[in-house]
């Protein structure tokens, strides 16, 4: 077996120098000649009609070059995330946004925008916009919102077109009706010796990436827009701007400048509408316009994760074999659809393949409410789903007096098992992840502490999960790259993928370098710009290494063949006697025959030929696997939970750049800790967000991080490039239940809602039984 030259090696990242020297340019750094500064006027009301809006005083302020409100914009429906534009027929994508409307649907909703010669003038101008609101009743809870007497958020017929009328109010797009994943639920529950039914709540949380949302839109005299954006999906963002402004796609260019300060799902599409708003202002002012959201605006006016309410009903035999499972989920979608039609289905598709449960069913949907829109955030329903599934698995194991680890091993899916997703489960390294992770943390030490002896109790817990390696066939997802051999022997490699920090601009060239046989420095990547790259949906669904990697290999193989064909003729040797290594075409049988790629390229060029090709393959998908283990110490007097250690074992198929893979997992673990214990999106009775700054939003600092170990398992995935599976989101999937299951092991008390804040834990400890949820209305969960 040939040894890899660059794949599997933690080579330094190509963006390293820029980032450590401070020369990396982000959207927040972009400055163009004649640039104007924008500010957005936001609704102070959770639900209100704009009865009257007068922008004349704002327009008259010296320095103000454009003011826009619902009276000034083209009335084109769009969706500010890529969701509506990657939805595959016959499902229709939900489009329910205009640039500005005469209805505000959450506190922070965009009412108008100003572009002026300075930020100070723009702020002054905002204050001069006169708005008369008619405050409407608001609804914040999805169960309330479904009631017929609740206010309906979107009444416009054009927004409803193509979607069913449901008896419930405020349903986003299509519900997923009770769908049989596999088998026959009735049969399954009959076979069960025990049936467990539990309800769970997962609070919404926020991406909170370090670079706030924003954009800079430039325009030329022909109306062509160039938009600098931190988007993680440049091509879809381009489409959204074109749709919103009613422009042909070719009139819009979207690019990262070239770096983006984090995404985590928050900008799969627009950065909180910034690209659309700046483009509209630039059209009006005929000058470049920059809009950068403040941190508070980022919190209140850009997509959160979905708050999720779930019931799990699971049947199990005495010996621990799962027989049936019914998952019902209702998600809180906030004011606009974004990814809300998709999230419940993703929860189902990522949770259900994990265990071999022959009879399973899922039902779920999302509901509109008057709070910040929920959209995509790392894991996209899977972290919520697996918190529920893994909490219940832990509960079942405890009831059956089985080791939770043995109970998992008994029930996890095996290669060849039928799974309720439209692609096969061919290989799985989950068993290895579980056994290796267990050994690392010292699972054999796990005991229930003597709870009378101390107020500091230690415990251990675990969680497992899967995810996806791209979004095919759930969404439009395919990858194309372009390769051109240049006359110095370097390869120009063009891909529509961004680098939002995940290291794609280093890892993807590793594929090309490996296949082609050149040094990594000879692969020149062009990325993150719609003008110079083929369509790519972007960096989401943990897809870039898997999907773009496959296209890179296809392209590199193709251009290599073309080069060797030419070289065979040039060297007068049979093609199968030639190969490429270290940038040289060489003869396998004659050591003396060597010619550089640069020489081949030049010779071909002199004979009017350049080597170029397109790399693309039909899309596939694959399941990644992960197991997390947590050891905690609970202070039963304060409700504080300290994490003693975390172990994360991941089957990534193949780690192309191990340091980058570890970094992705370690970062996800820190998000998982916050998700489990401290981060939450909450509103007051008027709908105003409570934790809307970094000061109030409790995301982990370095002081909150425990010792962490990452274990990389490489169970080759045949459909993946060099065996790769997705990993970007998997690191956040079982972390929370590993921690909360550890809390149960320590205290004997289970909190079925995350985050397990000190007050929630103290309430549970006081009651000396778990709190199921903080809701009482059981009838909502009836089948």
Partner 1 sequence: MEKKLLHFCLNGEEMEVQVDPSASLMDVIRDDLEMTGTKAGCNTGDCGACTVILDGEAVRSCIMPALHVMDRNVETIEGIGSPDNLHPVQEEFVESSAFQCGYCTPGMIMSAKALLDKNPEPTGEDVREAIAGNLCRCTGYKKIEEAFLSAAKKVNSKSS
Closer to partner 1 by CB, 206 or 253: give it.
206
Angle at CA 609, nearest 5°, toward 603 and 611? Answer: 95
**Under rule CB under 8 A, residue 28 binds partner 1:** yes
**Judged by CB under 8 A, does residue 29 bind partner 1?**
yes
The count of other CB atoms within 10 Å of the CB of residue 187 is 13
Cβ 473 to partner 1, closest distance in Å? 30
Residue 539 found at the interface with partner 1 (CB under 8 A):
no
Number of residues lying near partner 1 (CB under 8 A) = 58
Closest separation in Å from C-beta 115 to partner 1: 17
- SS3 of 31, please? coil
> DSSP H helical segments within 251-302, as ranges?
274-285, 295-301
Closest CB 669 distance from partner 1, rounded Å: 5
Torsion angle of alpha carbons 272, 276, 281, 284, nearest 10°? -160
Buried b (16+ CB within 10 A) or exposed e, 98-136: bbbbebbbbbbbbbbbbbbbeeebbebbbebbebebeeb
**Known active-site residue 642:** no
**In terms of DSSP H, where are the helices of 442-577?**
504-516, 549-571
Pick from 87, 103, 170, 209: which binds partner 1 (CB under 8 A)?
209
Decide whether 290 or 313 has the Cβ nearer to partner 1.
290
Residue linked to tokens 């519900």: 175
Identify which range of 28-36, 367-375, 407-415, 422-430 contacts partner 1 by CB under 8 A: 28-36
Shortest CB 121 distance to partner 1, Å: 13
- Least distance in angstroms from the C-beta of 208 to partner 1: 6
Residue-wise DSSP of 387-407: HHHHHHHHHHHHHTT--HHHH
DSSP labels, 76-102: --B-SBTHHHHBPTTSPPP--B-SS-S
212 binds partner 1 (CB under 8 A): yes
Give yes or no for residue 17 binding partner 1 (CB under 8 A).
yes
Per-residue string for binding with partner 1, 399-428, x by CB under 8 A? ------------------------------
77 binds partner 1 (CB under 8 A): no
d(CA 407, CA 400): 9
Contact call for residue 10 and partner 1 (CB under 8 A): yes
Dihedral-angle region of residue 416 (phi above 0 means left; psi in -120 to 50 means alpha; beta otherwise): left
Does 20 engage in binding with partner 1 (CB under 8 A)? yes
- Is the distance from CB of 301 to CB of 371 less than 8 angstroms? no
Per-residue x/- track, 704-743, partner 1 (CB under 8 A): -x--x-----------------------------------
**320 token code pair:** 């621990």
Contact with partner 1 (CB under 8 A): which of 2, 3, 21, 90? 21
| Piece in contact with partner 1 (CB under 8 A), picked from 52-60, 163-171, 452-460, 699-707 | 699-707
Instruction: Supply φ then ψ for residue 329, to 5 degrees.
Output: -135, 135
Q: Which of 16, 71, 180, 690 binds partner 1 (CB under 8 A)?
A: 16
Cα distance from N-terminal residue to C-terminal residue, the chain = 55
Report the alpha-carbon distance of residue 742 to residue 750 in Å, rounded.
10
Residue 653-682 contact track with partner 1, rule CB under 8 A, x = bound: ----x-xx-xxx-xxxxxx-----------
| H or E stretch covering 629 | strand 625-635
Residue 376 phi, psi dihedral angles, 5° rounding: -100, 135
Among 6, 7, 26, 362, binds partner 1 (CB under 8 A): 26
Output the 3-class SS for 436-458.
Answer: HHHHHHCHHHCCCCCCCCCCEEE
Query: Pick from 548, 540, 471: which is nearest to 268 by CA?
Result: 540
Per-residue x/- marks for partner 1, 568-597, CB under 8 A? ------------------------------
Residues ≥6 apart with Cβ < 8 Å to 2 = none
Nearest Cα neighbor of 323 from 333, 313, 331, 332 is: 313
Of 272-311, binders to partner 1 (CB under 8 A) are 292, 294-295
Residue placing its CB nearer to partner 1 in the complex, 323 or 664: 664
* Beta carbon nearer to partner 1, 17 or 60: 17
Q: Would you count residue 24 as binding partner 1 (CB under 8 A)?
A: yes
DSSP state of 544: I
693 part of the interface to partner 1, by CB under 8 A: yes
The CA distance from 665 to 654, in Å, is 14
Instruction: Measure the CA–CA gap between 269 and 286, rounded to whole angstroms.
Output: 24
Nearer to partner 1, 42 or 475 (CB): 42
Check 297, 390, 631, 729 and give the catalytic one. Answer: 729
Interaction between residue 137 and partner 1 (CB under 8 A)? no
For residue 398, cis peptide bond before it (omega within 30 degrees of 0): no
Nearer to partner 1 (CB atom), residue 70 or residue 688: 688
Any contact of residue 33 with partner 1 (CB under 8 A)? no
Decide whether 11 or 280 has the Cβ nearer to partner 1: 11
Taking CB under 8 A as the criterion, the residue among 1, 2, 3, 23 binding partner 1 is 23
Applying CB under 8 A, among 2, 90, 607, 702 the residue interacting with partner 1 is: 702
Cβ closest to partner 1, residue 185 vs residue 711: 711
Q: Is 262 in the site for partner 1 (CB under 8 A)?
A: yes
Q: Between residues 239 and 378, which has the closer beta carbon with respect to partner 1?
A: 378
Is the four-CA dihedral 626, 629, 634, 640 of positive or negative sign? negative
Q: Are 37 and 290 in contact (CB under 8 A)?
A: yes
Q: Which of residues 481-520 bind partner 1 (CB under 8 A)?
A: 500-503
Residues catalogued as catalytic: 729
What residues make contact with partner 1 under the rule CB under 8 A?
10, 12-13, 15-26, 28-29, 31, 207-212, 259-262, 264, 292, 294-295, 500-503, 657, 659-660, 662-664, 666-671, 693-695, 699-703, 705, 708
């Amino acid at each position: 077996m040939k040894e890899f030259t660059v794949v599997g090696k933690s080579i330094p990242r190509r963006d390293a120098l820029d980032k450590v020297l401070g020369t990396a340019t982000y959207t927040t750094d972009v400055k163009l000649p004649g640039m104007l500064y924008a500010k957005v006027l936001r609704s102070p009301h959770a639900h209100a009609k704009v009865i009257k809006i007068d922008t004349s005083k704002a327009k008259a302020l010296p320095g103000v070059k454009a003011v826009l409100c619902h009276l000034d914009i083209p009335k084109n429906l769009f969706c500010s995330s890529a969701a509506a534009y990657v939805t595959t027929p016959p499902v229709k994508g939900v489009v329910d946004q205009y640039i500005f409307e005469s209805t505000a649907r959450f506190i922070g909703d965009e009412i108008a925008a100003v572009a002026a010669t300075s930020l100070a003038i723009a702020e002054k101008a905002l204050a001069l916009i006169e708005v008369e609101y008619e405050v409407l009743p608001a609804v914040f809870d999805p169960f309330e919102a479904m009631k017929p007497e609740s206010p309906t958020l979107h009444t416009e017929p054009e927004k409803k077109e193509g979607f069913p009328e449901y008896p419930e109010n405020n349903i986003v797009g299509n519900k997923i009706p009770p769908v049989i994943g596999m088998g026959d639920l009735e049969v399954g529950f009959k076979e069960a010796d025990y049936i467990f039914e539990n309800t769970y709540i997962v609070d919404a949380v926020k991406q909170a990436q370090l670079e706030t949302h924003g954009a800079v839109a430039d325009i030329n005299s022909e109306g062509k827009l160039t938009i600098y954006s931190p988007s993680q999906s440049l091509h879809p963002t381009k489409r959204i701007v074109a749709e919103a402004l009613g422009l042909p796609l070719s009139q819009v260019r979207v690019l990262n400048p070239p770096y983006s300060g984090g995404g985590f799902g928050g900008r799969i599409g627009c950065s909180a509408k910034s690209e659309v708003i700046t483009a509209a202002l630039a059209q009006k002012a005929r000058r470049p316009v920059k809009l950068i959201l403040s941190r508070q605006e980022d919190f209140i006016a850009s997509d959160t994760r979905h708050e999720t309410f779930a019931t799990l009903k699971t049947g199990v035999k005495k010996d621990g074999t799962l027989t049936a499972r019914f998952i019902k989920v209702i998600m809180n979608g906030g004011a606009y659809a974004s990814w809300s039609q998709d999230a419940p289905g993703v929860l189902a598709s990522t949770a259900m393949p994990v265990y071999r449960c022959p009879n399973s069913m899922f039902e779920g949907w999302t509901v509109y409410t008057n709070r910040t829109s929920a959209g995509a955030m790392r894991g996209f329903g899977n972290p919520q789903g697996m918190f529920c599934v893994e909490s219940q698995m832990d509960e079942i194991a405890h009831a059956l007096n089985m080791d939770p680890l043995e109970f998992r091993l008994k029930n996890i899916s095996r290669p060849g098992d039928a799974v309720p997703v439209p692609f096969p489960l061919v290989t799985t390294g989950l068993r290895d992840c579980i056994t290796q992770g267990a050994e690392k943390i010292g699972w054999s030490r796990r005991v229930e502490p003597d709870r009378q002896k101390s107020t500091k109790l230690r415990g251990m817990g675990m969680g497992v999960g899967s995810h996806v390696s791209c979004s095919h066939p759930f969404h439009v997802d395919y990858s194309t790259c372009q390769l051109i051999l240049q006359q110095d022997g370097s390869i120009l490699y063009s891909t529509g993928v961004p680098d939002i920090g995940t290291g794609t601009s280093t890892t993807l060239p590793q594929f090309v370098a490996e296949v082609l046989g050149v040094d990594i420095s000879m692969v020149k990547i062009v990325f993150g710009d719609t003008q110079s790259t083929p369509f790519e949906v972007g960096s989401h669904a943990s897809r870039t290494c898997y999907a773009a990697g496959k296209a890179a290999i296809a392209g590199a193989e193709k251009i290599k063949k073309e080069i060797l064909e030419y070289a065979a003729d040039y060297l007068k040797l049979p093609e199968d006697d030639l190969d490429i290594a270290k940038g040289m075409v060489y003869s396998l049988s004659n050591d003396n025959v060597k010619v550089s790629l640069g020489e081949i390229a030049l010779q071909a060029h002199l004979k009017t030929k350049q080597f170029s090709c397109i790399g693309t393959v039909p899309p596939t998908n694959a399941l990644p696997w992960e197991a997390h283990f947590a050891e905690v110490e609970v202070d039963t007097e304060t409700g504080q939970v300290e994490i003693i250690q975390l172990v994360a074992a991941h089957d990534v198929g193949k780690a192309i750049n191990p340091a980058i893979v570890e970094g992705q997992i370690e970062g996800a673990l820190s998000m998982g800790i916050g998700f489990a214990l401290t981060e939450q999106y909450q509103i007051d009775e008027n709908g105003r967000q409570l934790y809307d700054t970094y000061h109030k939003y409790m995301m982990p600092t370095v002081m909150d991080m425990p010792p962490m170990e990452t274990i990389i398992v490489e169970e080759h995935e045949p459909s993946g490039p060099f065996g790769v599976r997705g990993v970007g989101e998997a690191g956040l999937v079982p972390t929370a239940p590993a921690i909360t299951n550890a809390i149960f092991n320590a205290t004997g008390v289970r909190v079925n809602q995350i985050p397990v804040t000190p007050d929630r834990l103290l309430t549970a400890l006081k009651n000396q039984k778990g709190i199921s949820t903080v809701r009482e209305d059981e009838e909502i969960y009836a089948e």
